[in-house]
């Protein structure tokens, strides 16, 4: 199995090119099932989760034509299956994103229940309830969600009890081909949801309230969408992670191909700690701090502080002066990185969903284990500031969502190698 070996305490300089957003790419790829004569997606990140979803679409019978490593054309004219099997869904929970489009266009599907994952129970009850409200008959048997809508889906009034990103995306895709109007109350407002709305809108689905928590979708009554092209928005979580690289080493670092508007909560928190943030149209630089102040952080839905940046800020908190308080509000078990950061010497105490990080603490290299995607990048951040060598194991988590991370880090001066156990 691959692992990363990192030597801490290096000087960095230069810039990092940010890839397309994994979490935007996945719903856009799933939406290809709504198109009868092809969807072209470019600026795709070259990461395992994207490959997994493309493999699933291919298994369903879609024609896939890769134009280069970052763009492809998907043709969902005819399918041979409408089933997402356990071996695919267990690799990537976001496979649930095919539920809405398959039901809307092909009127039936089977998707394995995702089950638990490292960061908590992560149920899909809200997706299921919403599809039922739109007229689907759903049974859960032998670990599979079996859904049917023999007469097609119909528009409905859906109020989400909790804000759910992929849940909102599933309903948007289902509603696009349903009969009549669907209202989504308490919808997610993440930029990735907005991009999906924009693609649907460009393809002939009228949507009101894009970017707000109330969406109204005028369905096309089963009429599939016509050919379209879309370029994936920049990855705000990858960008935020590299902002933390500059921050933890207290060096200017420039990121290219970003949308600074999507990074406001992260930039604000870095400014509160003491760093400067300079932005141009699609470029952003983090500037060094005179002193690192401890901070308080609460994760929430967009435009609040993203849960996907919580672990990276915990690594940064180890280098801040004083006690930082980090509260995780979205996922009940998203603190698996705490014990690994402690192995590097971090002083962190944990009570329920609140972590207190006591800084500034010198870190020392050690062997650590990646536990989930974002936890892995927190360990990289800690490793690059630690004394000596750190070996990070189980980095397949990292490969799910960060494109060529060691290449990008090596280019700015980090001493990092990918090795095999
Ligand atoms: C998406 C992102 C993930 C991010 C998360 C929160 C993708 C592919 N993944 O995940 O990176 O961390 O948003 O910003 O876009 N919930 C339920 N029932 C449901 C659905 C969700 O209780 O049916 C709960 C979840 O357990 C969680 C909260 O709602 O506590 C938010 O989860 P959700 O927004 O659905 O996360 P994902 O869409 O899976």
pLDDT tens figures, 90-102: 888 899 999 999 9
From the number of C-beta atoms within 10 Å of its C-beta (0-12, 13-18, 19+), residue 61 rates as: middle
Copy the structure tokens of residue 324.
């930082």
Residue 117 has pLDDT above 80, yes or no: no
pLDDT of residue 421: 85
Nearest Cα residue to atom 25 of ligand 1: 122
The stretch 67-87 carries a mean pLDDT of: 93
Closest ligand 1 atom number to CA of residue 169: 38
Asked whether the beta carbons of 377 and 241 are under 8 A apart, the reply is yes
Write out the E strands in 270-334.
276-279, 283-287, 296-298, 322-327
Write out the E strands in 219-321.
228-231, 253-256, 276-279, 283-287, 296-298
The set of protein residues with a Cβ atom below 6 angstroms from ligand 1 is 23, 26, 93-94, 122-127, 162, 164-167, 192, 307-308, 330-331
Residue 122 has pLDDT above 70, yes or no: no
Percent of the chain at pLDDT above 70? 98
Q: How distant is the alpha carbon of residue 341 from its chain centre?
A: 22
- CA-nearest of 361, 355, 365 to 334 is 355
Strands 253-256 and 415-420: unpaired
pLDDT of residue 91: 83
Give 385's pLDDT tier (boundaries 50, 70, 90). very high
pLDDT of residue 51: 95
- Name the residue of 99, 123, 131, 162 to mutate for ligand 1: max ligand atoms within 8 A of Cβ: 162
End-to-end CA distance of the chain: 5
- Name the residue of 187, 266, 330, 397 to mutate for ligand 1: max ligand atoms within 8 A of Cβ: 330
pLDDT of residue 120: 56
- CA-nearest of 309, 364, 357 to 334 is 309
Give 304's pLDDT tier (boundaries 50, 70, 90). very high
Cα 412 to averaged position of ligand 1 atoms, centre (Å): 33
Give 115's pLDDT tier (boundaries 50, 70, 90). low
> b vs e for 179-211, b when ≥16 Cβ sit within 10 Å of the residue's Cβ?
bebbbbebbbbbbbbbbbbebbeebebebeebe
**C-alpha to C-alpha distance for 416 and 402, rounded to whole angstroms:** 15
**What does the pLDDT look like over 176-226, one tens digit per residue?**
999 999 999 999 999 999 999 999 999 999 999 999 999 999 999 999 999
- Chain mean pLDDT for the chain: 95
Cα 165 to averaged position of ligand 1 atoms, centre (Å): 6
pLDDT of residue 92: 87
Report CA dihedral (24, 26, 28, 31) to the nearest 10 degrees. -150
**What does the pLDDT look like over 8-63, one tens digit per residue?**
999 999 999 999 999 999 999 999 999 998 999 999 999 999 999 999 999 999 99
Distances (CA, A) of 78 to 36, 82, 277, 379, 421: 8, 11, 49, 44, 43
Asked whether the beta carbons of 347 and 378 are under 8 A apart, the reply is no
Write out the E strands in 69-167.
71-75, 83-84, 108-112, 137-141, 144-148, 157-159
Percent of the chain at pLDDT above 90? 90
Residue 165 DSSP code: H
Copy the structure tokens of residue 353.
């969903």
Distances (CA, A) of 299 to 21, 250, 292, 363: 20, 24, 20, 25
Nearest Cα residue to atom 9 of ligand 1: 23
Copy the structure tokens of residue 296.
């308080």
- Name the residue of 21, 91, 95, 166 to mutate for ligand 1: max ligand atoms within 8 A of Cβ: 166
Report CA dihedral (238, 241, 243, 244) to the nearest 10 degrees. 180
pLDDT of residue 333: 81
Task: Point out the residues that are catalytic.
Answer: 117
Asked whether the beta carbons of 242 and 18 are under 8 A apart, the reply is yes
Nearest Cα residue to atom 21 of ligand 1: 164
Asked whether the beta carbons of 395 and 417 are under 8 A apart, the reply is no
Cα 73 to averaged position of ligand 1 atoms, centre (Å): 28
């Amino acid at each position: 199995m691959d692992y990363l070996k990192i030597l801490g305490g290096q000087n960095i300089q230069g810039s990092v090119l940010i890839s397309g957003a994994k979490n935007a790419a996945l719903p856009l790829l799933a939406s290809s099932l709504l198109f009868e004569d092809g969807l072209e997606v470019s600026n795709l990140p070259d990461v395992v989760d994207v490959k997994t979803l493309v493999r699933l679409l291919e298994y369903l019978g879609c024609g896939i034509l890769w134009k280069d490593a970052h763009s492809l054309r998907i043709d969902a004219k005819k399918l041979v299956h409408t089933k997402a099997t356990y071996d695919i869904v267990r690799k990537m929970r976001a496979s649930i994103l095919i539920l809405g489009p398959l039901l809307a266009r092909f009127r039936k599907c089977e998707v394995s229940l995702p089950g638990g994952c490292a960061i908590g129970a992560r149920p899909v009850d809200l997706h299921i309830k919403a599809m039922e409200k739109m007229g689907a008959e759903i049974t859960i048997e032998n670990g599979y969600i079996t859904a049917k809508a023999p007469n097609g889906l119909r528009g409905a009034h859906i109020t989400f009890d909790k804000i759910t990103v992929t849940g909102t995306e599933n309903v948007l895709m289902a509603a696009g081909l349903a009969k009549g109007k669907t209202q989504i109350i308490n919808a997610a407002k993440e930029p990735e949801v907005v991009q999906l709305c924009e693609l649907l809108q460009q393809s002939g689905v009228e949507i009101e309230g894009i970017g707000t928590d109330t969406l109204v979708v005028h369905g096309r009554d089963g009429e599939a969408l016509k050919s379209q092209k879309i370029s994936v928005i920049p990855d705000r979580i990858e960008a935020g992670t590299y902002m933390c690289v500059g921050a933890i080493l207290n060096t200017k670092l420039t990121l290219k191909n970003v949308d600074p508007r999507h990074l406001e909560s992260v930039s604000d928190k870095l400014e509160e700690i003491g760093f400067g943030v300079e932005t141009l149209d699609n470029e952003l630089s983090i500037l060094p701090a005179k002193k690192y102040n401890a901070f308080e952080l609460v994760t929430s839905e967009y435009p609040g502080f993203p849960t996907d940046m919580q672990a990276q800020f915990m690594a940064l908190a180890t280098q801040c002066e004083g006690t930082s308080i980090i509260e995780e509000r979205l996922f009940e078990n998203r603190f698996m990185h705490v014990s690994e950061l402690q192995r590097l010497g971090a002083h962190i105490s944990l009570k329920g969903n609140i972590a207190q990080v006591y800084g500034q603490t010198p870190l020392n290299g050690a062997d650590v284990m990646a536990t989930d995607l974002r936890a892995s990048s927190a360990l990289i951040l800690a490793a690059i500031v630690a004394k000596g060598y750190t070996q990070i194991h189980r980095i397949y988590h990292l490969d799910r969502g960060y494109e060529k991370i060691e290449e990008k880090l090596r280019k700015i001066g980090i001493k990092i190698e990918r090795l095999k156990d």
